[in-house]
Amino acid sequence: MSDDRDVALQEAPPDTEMLAKTGHGEALQVSNEPSALDQFRERTRYPASTRKINENSFDLLNPGARHENRQALPGPDNPDLAWQVLFTADRFFVTGDEPILISLQLWNRGEAVLPESVSLQAEAVGPGDRRAPVMLAARSDGKAKTTVFEPNKHWPEYLGRVRVGAKFSARDLKPQSGELDFFFTGKERVPAHFTGTFRDFMAGGDLLIEVGLDVHRDGIFRIDGNLFDRAGKPFGWARFEGPLAQGNAVAALRYYGLLFHDAEAQAPFTLRNLHGYR
């Protein structure tokens, strides 16, 4: 990330941009923001299917993470805005037999308060869906109300959004409600599985990693994976995008050779965060 502050200099170094306005008695100002040409060069340094990453590349390192934050509980039931709530889950994408952990937390003037009278209900909200909702049992861990939900036990053939509604209260807090969504792919709708077979080799100065798949439904697939160096730090992302036919298949992740030079990455390398969709 560039530093957008302007610094005063008496003499401009090369490869910088002058601001147009100098004013009376003012030193010339120089912007540290990269030029449009520099930004273009940075964006096009690698092919679109390869990217340099680091520990701050949150979305690529945690592709299914959620981003809820504490929210105030405004309105006539909470006129002083002293209450805050966090209703969230441990992931957004749920596949097959995977469970999802859902939690509900409350604070009053910054102090944690255990929610009371909590009821949780999950329902499939796909277009035209008529599935019966599922009541979820809320448990207490001393700080929050939680539940572990395994949607595949109820809707193994479902593909789409699931909405979890919550009703709750607390001492000195009138009944409240909230909801969150996640995306579920039932076991019967999973289009492919990774087989755990890999092959890596060099081609044209790039590192290719072939990933084995058992494809149940053919189509256009996107497969992503991150590379970590000897120290366990992430430095490279790559994507395969293309058609895969039903049966045994291979998706090749190509890590552009210049990436290893720029990141000064040292072997051995480890492939992690492998995931994909159709």
DSSP 7-69: EE-SSPPSS-EE-S---TTPPPEEE-SPPHHHHHHHHTSS-TTEEE--TT-HHHHSTT-----
Tokens 């306005």, located at residue: 21
pLDDT reported for residue 188: 94
pLDDT reported for residue 78: 59
Q: Can you give 114-134 as a three-state secondary structure string? A: CCEEEEEEEEECCCCCCCCCE
Tokens 């395969």, located at residue: 240
Task: Answer with the residue of higher pLDDT: 240 or 43.
Answer: 240
Q: Where are the domains of the chain?
A: 6-35, 51-61+191-277, 75-188
pLDDT reported for residue 31: 53
Closest of 183, 218, 224 to residue 63, by C-alpha: 224
pLDDT reported for residue 12: 34
Question: Residue 23 above 80 pLDDT?
Answer: no
pLDDT reported for residue 79: 60
Under the banding of pLDDT at 50, 70 and 90, the label for residue 117 is: very high
The average pLDDT across 173-195 equals 94
The average pLDDT across 45-62 equals 89
* pLDDT per residue as tens digits for the range 80-101: 668 999 999 999 999 999 999 9
Tokens 């969150």, located at residue: 180
Q: Which residues of 232-259 are buried (b: 16+ CB within 10 A; e: fewer)?
A: eebbbbbbbeeebeeeebebbbbbbbeb
Verify cis geometry, omega within 30 degrees of 0, for the bond prior to 14: no
Q: Is the dihedral of CA 115, 118, 123, 125 positive or negative?
A: negative
Question: Residue 265 above 90 pLDDT?
Answer: yes
| CATH number at 75-188 | 2.60.40.1930
Top-level class of domain 51-61+191-277: mainly beta
The average pLDDT across 1-21 equals 34
Assess whether the region 51-61+191-277 and the region 75-188 belong to the same CATH fold.
yes
pLDDT reported for residue 131: 84
Average pLDDT of the chain, as a whole number? 85
pLDDT reported for residue 268: 96
pLDDT reported for residue 151: 97
Q: Is the dihedral of CA 272, 257, 59, 155 positive or negative?
A: negative
Six-digit token string for 245? 């036919």
For residue 5, count other CB atoms closer than 10 A to its CB: 8
Q: What predicted TM-score, i.e. pTM, was given to this entire model?
A: 0.76
pLDDT reported for residue 32: 63
Question: Residue 114 above 90 pLDDT?
Answer: yes
Closest of 26, 23, 24 to residue 7, by C-alpha: 26
Question: Residue 7 above 70 pLDDT?
Answer: no
